[in-house]
Protein backbone atom coordinates (compact mmCIF):
# COMPACT_ATOMS: atom_id res chain seq x y z
CA UNK A 1 0.00 0.00 0.00
CA UNK A 2 1.28 3.48 -0.77
CA UNK A 3 0.86 5.04 2.63
CA UNK A 4 3.18 7.90 3.57
CA UNK A 5 4.94 5.50 5.91
CA UNK A 6 5.64 3.12 3.01
CA UNK A 7 7.07 5.98 0.96
CA UNK A 8 9.22 7.06 3.85
CA UNK A 9 10.71 3.62 4.16
CA UNK A 10 11.89 3.43 0.56
CA UNK A 11 15.52 2.35 0.35
CA UNK A 12 17.91 5.18 -0.38
CA UNK A 13 20.39 5.97 -3.12
CA UNK A 14 23.12 8.30 -1.86
CA UNK A 15 24.29 10.53 -4.70
CA UNK A 16 27.13 12.97 -4.11
CA UNK A 17 28.66 15.83 -6.13
CA UNK A 18 31.51 18.24 -5.38
CA UNK A 19 31.80 21.98 -4.90
CA UNK A 20 33.72 24.00 -7.53
CA UNK A 21 37.52 23.70 -7.40
CA UNK A 22 40.64 24.86 -9.21
CA UNK A 23 39.30 28.41 -9.64
CA UNK A 24 36.09 27.36 -11.44
CA UNK A 25 32.76 28.96 -10.57
CA UNK A 26 30.62 25.85 -10.75
CA UNK A 27 30.87 22.10 -10.70
CA UNK A 28 28.55 20.17 -13.05
CA UNK A 29 28.63 17.16 -10.73
CA UNK A 30 26.85 19.12 -8.02
CA UNK A 31 24.38 20.83 -10.38
CA UNK A 32 23.33 17.48 -11.85
CA UNK A 33 23.20 15.63 -8.54
CA UNK A 34 21.29 18.42 -6.81
CA UNK A 35 18.48 18.28 -9.34
CA UNK A 36 17.86 14.60 -8.49
CA UNK A 37 17.45 15.29 -4.75
CA UNK A 38 14.31 13.59 -3.41
CA UNK A 39 13.43 11.93 -6.72
CA UNK A 40 12.34 8.32 -6.89
CA UNK A 41 14.22 5.96 -9.20
CA UNK A 42 13.17 2.30 -9.41
CA UNK A 43 11.48 2.37 -5.98
CA UNK A 44 14.44 4.05 -4.32
CA UNK A 45 14.67 7.58 -2.99
CA UNK A 46 17.61 9.77 -3.97
CA UNK A 47 19.45 11.67 -1.25
CA UNK A 48 21.77 14.22 -2.86
CA UNK A 49 24.68 15.70 -0.92
CA UNK A 50 27.66 17.91 -1.66
CA UNK A 51 31.19 16.89 -0.71
CA UNK A 52 33.96 19.46 -0.33
CA UNK A 53 36.82 19.17 -2.84
CA UNK A 54 39.19 18.67 0.07
CA UNK A 55 41.34 15.66 0.92
CA UNK A 56 40.28 13.88 4.14
CA UNK A 57 37.39 16.27 4.99
CA UNK A 58 35.50 14.87 1.99
CA UNK A 59 35.85 11.36 3.39
CA UNK A 60 34.75 12.39 6.89
CA UNK A 61 31.63 13.92 5.36
CA UNK A 62 31.03 10.85 3.18
CA UNK A 63 31.36 8.56 6.22
CA UNK A 64 28.84 10.71 8.10
CA UNK A 65 26.39 10.52 5.18
CA UNK A 66 26.80 6.75 4.90
CA UNK A 67 26.08 6.26 8.61
CA UNK A 68 23.14 8.68 8.56
CA UNK A 69 21.37 7.39 5.44
CA UNK A 70 22.41 3.72 5.29
CA UNK A 71 21.94 3.72 1.51
CA UNK A 72 21.36 0.65 -0.65
CA UNK A 73 23.45 2.17 -3.43
CA UNK A 74 26.07 4.95 -3.48
CA UNK A 75 27.13 6.85 -6.57
CA UNK A 76 29.72 9.59 -6.13
CA UNK A 77 30.00 11.99 -9.04
CA UNK A 78 32.77 14.44 -9.97
CA UNK A 79 33.85 16.73 -12.79
CA UNK A 80 36.49 15.54 -15.24
CA UNK A 81 37.31 18.51 -17.48
CA UNK A 82 38.54 17.43 -20.90
CA UNK A 83 36.46 14.27 -21.09
CA UNK A 84 33.65 14.16 -23.63
CA UNK A 85 31.47 11.41 -22.14
CA UNK A 86 30.00 10.24 -18.86
CA UNK A 87 32.88 8.14 -17.48
CA UNK A 88 32.05 5.03 -15.49
CA UNK A 89 35.10 4.54 -13.30
CA UNK A 90 36.36 0.96 -12.99
CA UNK A 91 39.07 1.22 -10.33
CA UNK A 92 40.02 3.29 -7.27
CA UNK A 93 43.70 3.36 -6.26
CA UNK A 94 45.29 3.94 -2.86
CA UNK A 95 47.19 7.09 -3.73
CA UNK A 96 46.87 10.85 -3.37
CA UNK A 97 48.99 12.77 -5.88
CA UNK A 98 47.56 16.25 -6.37
CA UNK A 99 48.52 18.30 -9.43
CA UNK A 100 46.75 21.37 -7.93
CA UNK A 101 45.87 22.35 -4.35
CA UNK A 102 42.48 21.26 -3.03
CA UNK A 103 39.94 23.79 -1.67
CA UNK A 104 41.79 23.87 1.68
CA UNK A 105 45.17 24.49 -0.02
CA UNK A 106 46.43 20.96 0.65
CA UNK A 107 48.41 19.25 -2.10
CA UNK A 108 49.44 15.77 -0.97
CA UNK A 109 52.04 14.05 -3.13
CA UNK A 110 52.36 10.27 -3.16
CA UNK A 111 50.53 9.60 0.11
CA UNK A 112 48.10 6.72 0.63
CA UNK A 113 44.35 7.35 0.93
CA UNK A 114 44.27 4.69 3.64
CA UNK A 115 47.62 3.71 5.18
CA UNK A 116 47.95 -0.05 4.97
CA UNK A 117 44.88 -0.40 2.76
CA UNK A 118 44.84 -2.56 -0.38
CA UNK A 119 46.41 -1.08 -3.53
CA UNK A 120 43.04 -0.77 -5.26
CA UNK A 121 39.35 -1.55 -5.26
CA UNK A 122 37.17 -2.34 -8.24
CA UNK A 123 33.89 -0.48 -8.53
CA UNK A 124 30.80 -2.17 -7.10
CA UNK A 125 28.68 -0.85 -9.96
CA UNK A 126 27.69 -2.89 -13.05
CA UNK A 127 29.55 -0.51 -15.36
CA UNK A 128 29.19 -2.52 -18.58
CA UNK A 129 25.43 -2.77 -18.18
CA UNK A 130 25.35 0.95 -17.35
CA UNK A 131 27.47 1.72 -20.42
CA UNK A 132 25.11 -0.17 -22.74
CA UNK A 133 22.04 1.46 -21.19
CA UNK A 134 23.51 4.96 -21.57
CA UNK A 135 24.59 4.35 -25.15
CA UNK A 136 21.14 2.88 -25.87
CA UNK A 137 19.67 6.21 -24.79
CA UNK A 138 22.06 8.08 -27.07
CA UNK A 139 24.06 9.54 -24.17
CA UNK A 140 27.85 9.61 -24.70
CA UNK A 141 29.41 7.21 -22.15
CA UNK A 142 32.61 5.28 -21.61
CA UNK A 143 34.33 3.01 -19.13
CA UNK A 144 37.32 4.79 -17.59
CA UNK A 145 40.31 2.94 -16.16
CA UNK A 146 41.40 5.76 -13.86
CA UNK A 147 39.66 8.37 -11.76
CA UNK A 148 42.99 10.22 -11.48
CA UNK A 149 44.87 10.83 -8.23
CA UNK A 150 43.08 13.96 -6.92
CA UNK A 151 40.04 14.24 -4.63
CA UNK A 152 37.71 12.19 -6.85
CA UNK A 153 39.88 9.08 -6.70
CA UNK A 154 40.39 9.78 -2.98
CA UNK A 155 36.62 9.75 -2.40
CA UNK A 156 36.13 6.71 -4.67
CA UNK A 157 38.80 4.74 -2.76
CA UNK A 158 37.49 5.90 0.62
CA UNK A 159 33.95 4.89 -0.35
CA UNK A 160 34.97 1.42 -1.47
CA UNK A 161 37.13 0.96 1.64
CA UNK A 162 34.26 2.00 3.91
CA UNK A 163 31.82 -0.38 2.19
CA UNK A 164 34.39 -3.21 2.36
CA UNK A 165 35.41 -2.79 5.98
CA UNK A 166 32.66 -1.13 8.04
CA UNK A 167 29.97 -3.11 9.80
CA UNK A 168 26.50 -2.97 8.35
CA UNK A 169 27.56 -2.28 4.76
CA UNK A 170 27.64 -5.86 3.55
CA UNK A 171 26.00 -6.02 0.11
CA UNK A 172 25.89 -2.24 -0.29
CA UNK A 173 27.17 -1.30 -3.73
CA UNK A 174 28.95 1.86 -4.69
CA UNK A 175 31.14 3.49 -7.27
CA UNK A 176 32.20 6.64 -9.02
CA UNK A 177 31.13 8.47 -12.17
CA UNK A 178 32.96 11.42 -13.78
CA UNK A 179 31.07 13.96 -15.88
CA UNK A 180 32.35 16.42 -18.51
CA UNK A 181 32.33 20.22 -18.23
CA UNK A 182 29.19 22.19 -18.90
CA UNK A 183 29.26 24.23 -22.16
CA UNK A 184 30.04 27.42 -20.13
CA UNK A 185 33.26 25.91 -18.79
CA UNK A 186 34.88 24.82 -22.07
CA UNK A 187 34.95 21.98 -24.55
CA UNK A 188 34.24 19.10 -24.74
CA UNK A 189 31.07 19.50 -22.74
CA UNK A 190 27.63 18.11 -21.95
CA UNK A 191 24.49 20.04 -21.02
CA UNK A 192 23.04 19.76 -17.52
CA UNK A 193 19.78 18.12 -18.67
CA UNK A 194 21.74 15.42 -20.52
CA UNK A 195 23.92 14.85 -17.44
CA UNK A 196 20.83 14.50 -15.27
CA UNK A 197 19.19 12.12 -17.74
CA UNK A 198 22.42 10.13 -17.89
CA UNK A 199 22.68 9.83 -14.11
CA UNK A 200 19.04 8.67 -13.91
CA UNK A 201 19.70 5.96 -16.52
CA UNK A 202 22.95 4.94 -14.81
CA UNK A 203 21.30 4.66 -11.38
CA UNK A 204 18.21 2.84 -12.68
CA UNK A 205 20.46 0.34 -14.46
CA UNK A 206 22.62 -0.19 -11.39
CA UNK A 207 19.52 -0.84 -9.28
CA UNK A 208 18.12 -3.29 -11.85
CA UNK A 209 21.38 -5.18 -12.45
CA UNK A 210 22.83 -7.47 -9.80
CA UNK A 211 25.57 -9.15 -11.78
CA UNK A 212 27.28 -7.11 -14.48
CA UNK A 213 27.15 -8.38 -18.02
CA UNK A 214 30.51 -9.77 -19.02
CA UNK A 215 32.49 -11.86 -21.46
CA UNK A 216 29.66 -12.77 -23.84
CA UNK A 217 29.17 -9.15 -24.75
CA UNK A 218 32.81 -8.80 -25.84
CA UNK A 219 35.01 -5.92 -24.76
CA UNK A 220 33.05 -2.72 -24.63
CA UNK A 221 36.07 -0.49 -24.01
Which residues are near ligand PCA by CB under 6 A?
Answer: 18, 21, 27, 29, 53, 78-80, 148, 150-152
**CB 161, min distance to ligand PCA, A:** 17
Looking at beta carbons, which pairs linking 184-190 to residues 24 or more positions away fall under 8 Å? 184/26, 185/24, 185/26, 185/28, 185/81, 186/81, 188/82, 188/83, 188/84, 190/28, 190/84, 190/85, 190/86, 190/140
Check if 89 is active-site.
yes
Q: Residue 144 or 209: which CB sits closer to ligand PCA? A: 144
Concerning whether 76 is annotated as a catalytic residue, the answer is: no
Taking the complex as a whole, how short is the minimal distance between the CB of residue 170 and ligand PCA, in angstroms?
28
Residue 141 C-beta: closest distance to ligand PCA, Å: 17
Residue nearest to ligand PCA (CB): 152
Please report how close the Cβ of residue 133 comes to ligand PCA at its closest, in angstroms. 23
A 10 A CB-CB count for 196 gives: 17
167-189 in b/e form (b: 16+ CB < 10 A) is: eebeebbbbbbbbbbbeebeeeb
Instruction: Specify the residue, 78 or 108, whose C-beta has the smaller distance to ligand PCA.
Output: 78
- In terms of CB distance, is 79 or 209 closer to ligand PCA? 79
Residue ranges of E strands in the chain: 12-18, 40-41, 44-51, 73-79, 86-89, 91-93, 96-97, 109-111, 120-122, 141-144, 173-179
Closer to ligand PCA by Cβ: residue 18 or 45: 18
Catalytic: which of 44, 76, 152, 154?
152
Active site residue 152: yes
Given the residues 44, 154, 161, 178, the one annotated as active site = 178
- Residues labelled as active-site residues: 89, 152, 178
Amino acid sequence: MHTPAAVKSLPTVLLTGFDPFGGERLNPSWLAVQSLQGQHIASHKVVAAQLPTVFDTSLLELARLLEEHRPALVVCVGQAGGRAAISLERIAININDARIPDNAAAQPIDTPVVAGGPAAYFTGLPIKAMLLALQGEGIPAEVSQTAGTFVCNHVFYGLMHHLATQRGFEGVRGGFVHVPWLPDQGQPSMKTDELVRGLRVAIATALATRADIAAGAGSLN
